[in-house]
Amino acid sequence: MTRKIHPSSVVEEGAKLGADVEIGPLCHVGPQATLGDGVRLVSHVSLAGDTTIGARTRIFPFAAIGHQPQDLKYRGEPVRLVVGEECLIREHVTMNPGTEGGGSVTIVGPRSVFLTNAHVAHDCRIGEGVILSNNVMLAGHVTVGDFANISGGAAAHQHVRIGAHAFVGGLAGVEHDLIPFGMALGNRASLAGLNFVGLKRRGFPHEAIHELRRAYRMLFFGKGTLKERVGDVAEAFPDQEAVQQIVAFLREGGDRAICVPRDGKGEEA
């Protein structure tokens, strides 16, 4: 078992370090922290609280990971932060653990990317392969599905759900739930179509994308209430997994309203 720990860093008694961990200059690792195999702290990284960092994750200078949640109701109760394997956490990123009111844990999925100054607040649930670009801000209790992409300077309101494979444009303010595969733009953000670029990059076949387009038009430009249109889409596309994922998201509901197109725009996006 090989570890490289710079002599200027502090690793407190009780911290658990896996094999091949590298800790660069002037880092601080708290007594409850757990670092998986191959984790690398480049320099000036601060890990606090009951924080688990997955194998082969890399964390860059001045990231503050696992410090107490920014919630005035927090009173020191035990809370956790769990970061998955092979994540990339760049400079000045902050990630907070959960709170008692949100299940006491913040979860970050594997192979996700967090660019400079991104913030993951208490009780967030981040899926696999998510990208948060520079200065993205997630408020408490936000859920982000697998492979979603959130562009620079965007912000998500507390309790917002952002579906899998969704795309949020730069500087967008997301206050309503964004469907899987959807694209949100503007402040306040509105639904501006489907994330076709992301779908193609992830290898979705042409037929699946075509059916998603048809389902999108039925959902947001058809007749009847949204509940009725969801039922119609569920019946019209019983074998389309991606469409059914949107249906399940809408039926599950959440604490926020659904992000919809504004003034009839977004039909052809």
Residue pLDDT, tens place only, 173-184: 999 999 999 999
Q: How far is CA 245 from the centre of its chain?
A: 18
Catalytic, out of 44, 122, 141, 165 = 122
265 pLDDT exceeds 70? no
Q: What is the pLDDT of residues 187-199, one digit of tens each?
A: 999 999 999 999 9
* Residue 264, pLDDT score: 59
108 pLDDT exceeds 50? yes
Q: What is the pLDDT of residues 237-264, one digit of tens each?
A: 999 999 999 999 999 999 999 999 987 5
Residue 76 exposure: Cα atoms within 13 Å on the Cβ side: 0
Cβ 262 vs Cβ 248: under 8 Å: no
269 pLDDT exceeds 50? no
Architecture of domain 4-141: 3 Solenoid (2.160)
Cβ 89 vs Cβ 60: under 8 Å: yes
Q: What is the pTM of this model?
A: 0.96
Bridge-based pairing state of the strands 4-5 and 155-156: unpaired
Identify which of 45, 40, 39, 42 has the alpha carbon closest to the alpha carbon of residue 62.
45
Identify which of 173, 168, 131, 136 has the alpha carbon closest to the alpha carbon of residue 152.
136
Q: What is the pLDDT of residues 61-101, one digit of tens each?
A: 999 999 999 999 999 999 999 999 999 999 999 999 999 99
Report the percentage of the chain scoring pLDDT > 90.
96
266 pLDDT exceeds 90? no
* Residue 263, pLDDT score: 73
Catalytic, out of 50, 71, 123, 177 = 123
Q: How many CB atoms lie within 10 A of CB 114?
A: 28
Whether 123 is catalytic: yes
In the three-class reduction of DSSP (H, G, I as helix; E, B as strand; rest coil), residue 68 is classed as coil
Catalytic, out of 140, 145, 169, 198 = 140
Domain residue spans of the chain: 4-141, 200-252
